[in-house]
Amino acid sequence: MDFHHLKYFTEVAHQKSFSKAARHLHISQSAISRTIKALEEELGVVLFLRNAKAVELTDAGAIFLNHAKRSVFIFEHLKNDFENEFKLEQGSIHIGLPPITDAQVFAHLLGAFKRMYPQIDIELYEYGSKKVEIAVQEGLTDLGIICTEPKKDYESFFLLEDPVCVLLPKDHPLADAGDIPLADLSSDGFVLYRDDFNLHDEIIAKCKAADFTPKIVFETSQRELMIQTVSAGLGIALLPKRLCPYNNPNVSVHVLAGRPIIHRLYVIWRKGHYLSHAAKLWLDFAQDHIQKVTVKSSLK
């Protein structure tokens, strides 16, 4: 078994097709079929169920895929990691972050880092917090931004926090009210982030603590679609204050009365695992940047 066995296997699993995988890898279909067959014989298991319409992973194939992805990831990063051992200010960083992250704050942070280290490439992957945690744990990304307190499996630092506000359509009966208790929204339909976002679970838990189960009318990962759905009068939404559309005439933004829902962001990375020099540079830079921004805000 070598790198090509793993690379071909993961590509077939991704494409769900031997022919598509062969085209993407620029090799013949017969070559990729022979390689997969040899891998199956070496492992003593069938990795794919082959039929005329699609190629599907067997249970054994699904388990092997998790290990293969990590191995391919490590192999493809060997050059960068080797260069990082010599403290060269270059390489790449893979960061998973939820779309709910404050774009302005994060863009400013990335821009400032890129100006200081122009030779380091940054690749961003957008997932909900739950998928970000899995990607970091499996080594698919170097770092992650999540919206819940990190588990003990991760190293972490606090990034920022923001209270959650409620968005109402302009013709909602409470649109002219001040602060709104969560319980007053029990009869409304809720537009939520999908269940792979931790804020989804937190909002449902807060509603149940207020003695009602929210009626979910729509779930999405797109902030703008959520706002447009509220604007169209199809439901209400809860968003971190920084992400609220204060200049939208069709939406009314209100603070939640009583105990607030606080949206917190943390940076995480795997505890006890190797972290590239580029990733360490980003972590040091991000912590210093956030500290300076916090001090600056406190002086205003």
- All CATH 1.10.10.10 domain ranges in the chain, comma separated: 3-87
CATH class as words, domain 3-87: mainly alpha
How many CA within 13 A on the CB side of residue 21? Answer: 24
List b or e across 112-150, with b for residues whose CB sees 16 or more CB atoms inside 10 angstroms. ebeeebeebeeeeeebbbbbbbebbbebbbbbbbbbbeb
Integer-rounded Cα Rg, in Å, for the chain is 23
The residues pairing with 156 across neighbouring beta strands, listed in sequence order, are 268
By the 8 A CB rule, do 263 and 240 touch?
A: yes
Q: Which residues contact 59 (CB under 8 A, 6 or more apart)?
A: none
Question: Strand, coil or helix: what is 257?
Answer: coil
Block means of pLDDT (10 residues each) for the chain, 300 residues, are: 87 89 89 90 90 83 90 80 62 84 73 88 86 89 88 87 92 93 95 87 93 94 90 93 90 91 89 86 87 54
**C-alpha angle 258-177-214 in degrees, rounded to nearest 5:** 60
- List, in order, residues 6 or more apart from 279 with CB less than 8 Å away: 93, 142, 143, 269
pLDDT confidence of residue 233: 93
Q: How far apart (Å, rounded) are the C-alpha atoms in residues 43 and 81?
A: 29
Closest listed residue to residue 77, CA positions, set 113, 36, 124, 121? 121
Q: From the options 3.40.190.10, 3.40.50.300, 3.40.50.1700, 3.50.50.60, give the CATH code of 161-263.
A: 3.40.190.10
The token pair that represents 191 in the structure block: 């537009």
- How high is the pLDDT of residue 119? 85
| pLDDT, position 300 | 46
Task: Catalogue the E-assigned strands of 221-293.
Answer: 236-240, 251-255, 262-270
Q: How far is CA 40 from the centre of its chain?
A: 33
Instruction: Give the residue among 223, 108, 239 at the shortest CA–CA distance from 167.
Output: 239
Question: CA nearest 72: which of 126, 26, 6?
Answer: 6
What's the number of CA atoms in the CB half-sphere (13 Å) around residue 34? 5
What CATH number labels 91-159+264-298?
3.40.190.10
CATH 3.40.190.10 domain residues, the chain: 91-159+264-298, 161-263
Contacts of 62 (CB under 8 A, 6+ apart): none
Q: What is the pLDDT of residue 86?
A: 56
Q: Which residues pair with 299 in a beta bridge?
A: none
3-state secondary structure of 181: coil
